[in-house]
């Protein structure tokens, strides 16, 4: 039976988060630290954050951490896992990273069935650099590079990377969740747990996409940002299990 964590998780450092008010990264960090402790894998875990809002994740996770160039989280994680196959390896990436410059590395890692776990935080913009349009920015959504809203004829439609990865041969578990309510937060924790269990069972590539608010760049209050995900963003990126290998984890 898995022991539930109460209080500060063992693998979360006692450091204040630098994230903007209302950002979902801090919630996701907490969930991941809880899962690492509950599965008793923190001491053998290696995290790989590339460039983006979570580039300083090593300040918060009390596990071994390495850095990756922008978009190359899956590539660096692959190298670590192949060199140290007895370790649990995850990358922690935003949509402006994984769905843009990192698309090739991620798709091929999934297709090869690399036994790594990817946490994909989707806030629909380049959060760290000022809110520019990302591959996941919605049609009509304003950004610093699309002040009049994303236009399909000019900018194309948003990319559903998780659906793309689901058709690859080696992907084993892919789910999209959110952190907008107690219910979706619990669902996100269950998804992260399943993703790590997929890696523990050597089933192949696993990924959890998490819809996360970015109130500052969206120019919304934290409450309105959460409502916008629930009422608008999930119409383009519905919450669901996209792919799961048969068998109990």
Question: What pLDDT digit, counting tens, does each position of 221-233 carry?
Answer: 999 999 999 999 9
End-to-end CA distance of the chain: 13
Residue 19 lies in a domain: no
Residue 208 lies in a domain: yes
Residue 64 lies in a domain: yes
Contacts (Cβ under 8 Å, ≥6 apart) of 47: 57, 58, 61, 63, 64, 65, 66, 89, 90, 91, 92
Residue 145 lies in a domain: yes
Residue 43 lies in a domain: yes
Token pair, residue 188, equals 């996100």
Length of the chain: 249
pTM for this model (two decimals): 0.95
Residue 1 lies in a domain: no
Of the candidates 108, 132, 103, the one whose C-alpha atom is nearest the C-alpha of residue 120 is 103
Rounded-to-integer distance, Cα 248 and Cα 130, Å: 42
Say yes or no to pLDDT of 127 above 90: no
Rounded to an integer, the average pLDDT of 226-244 is: 98
Q: What is the mean pLDDT of the chain?
A: 95
pLDDT at 67: 92
Residue 185 lies in a domain: yes
Residue 20 lies in a domain: no
CATH number at residue 205: 3.40.50.970
pLDDT tens for each residue of 192-210: 999 999 999 999 999 999 9
- Tell me how many domains the chain contains: 1
Structural domain including 168 reads 25-244
């Amino acid at each position: 039976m898995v022991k539930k964590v109460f209080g500060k998780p063992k693998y979360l450092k006692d450091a204040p988060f630098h994230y903007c008010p209302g950002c979902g990264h801090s919630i996701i960090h907490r969930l991941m630290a809880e899962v690492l402790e509950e599965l008793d894998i923190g001491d053998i875990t290696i995290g790989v954050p590339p460039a983006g809002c979570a580039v300083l994740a090593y300040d918060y996770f009390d596990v071994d951490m390495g850095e990756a160039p922008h978009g190359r989280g899956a590539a660096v994680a692959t190298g670590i896992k192949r060199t140290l196959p007895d370790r649990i390896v995850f990358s922690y990436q935003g949509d402006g990273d994984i769905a843009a410059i990192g698309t090739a590395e991620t798709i091929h890692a999934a297709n090869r069935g690399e036994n790594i776990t990817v946490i994909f935080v989707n806030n629909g913009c380049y959060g760290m650099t000022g809110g520019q349009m990302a591959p996941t920015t919605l049609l009509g959504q304003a950004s610093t590079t699309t002040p009049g809203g994303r236009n399909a004829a000019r900018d194309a439609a948003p990319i559903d990377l998780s659906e793309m990865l689901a058709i690859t041969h080696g992907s084993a578990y892919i789910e999209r969740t959110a952190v907008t309510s107690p219910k979706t937060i619990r669902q996100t924790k269950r998804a992260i747990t399943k993703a790590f269990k997929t890696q523990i069972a050597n089933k192949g590539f696993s990924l959890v996409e998490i819809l996360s608010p970015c109130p500052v760049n969206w120019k919304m209050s934290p409450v309105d940002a959460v409502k916008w995900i629930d009422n608008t963003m999930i119409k383009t990126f519905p919450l669901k299990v996209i792919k799961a290998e048969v068998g109990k984890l």
